[in-house]
Amino acid sequence: MPKIDFTIRKRRGNARVGQLTLNGVTVTTPIFMPVGTKATIKGIPLEWMSSAFLGSENPINIILNNTFHLYLHP
């Protein structure tokens, strides 16, 4: 099994719904993906990170961060 896989599930015009699989974890795109800078996610309550987001059935299960920031300031 590849470590990363992206499959387009539906298309309508220029819009698309896809599935991104990274190391066995699958997320549906488009997705709300918080960005962590300097290992901190600002402006999002902790409850949103561990439970369903705004009444959605899909919890936040992917975060974009820059590991170079962690290298500079561990």
**Which regions of 1-74 does DSSP assign to beta strands (E)?**
4-12, 15-22, 25-29, 35-36, 64-65
- Round to the nearest angstrom and report the end-to-end CA distance of the chain: 33
pLDDT at 22: 84
pLDDT at 42: 74
Same domain, 7 and 21: yes
| Contact predicate 10/17, CB 8 Å | yes
pLDDT at 33: 74
Region 58-64 average pLDDT: 68
pLDDT digits (tens, 9 = 90+) for 28-48: 888 777 777 766 777 777 776
- Higher per-residue confidence, 27 vs 13: 13
Number of domains in the chain: 2
Bridge partners (DSSP) of residue 10 are 17
| Contact predicate 33/62, CB 8 Å | yes
State which residues form the domain around 38: 32-74
Amino acid at 53: F
Same domain, 65 and 37: yes
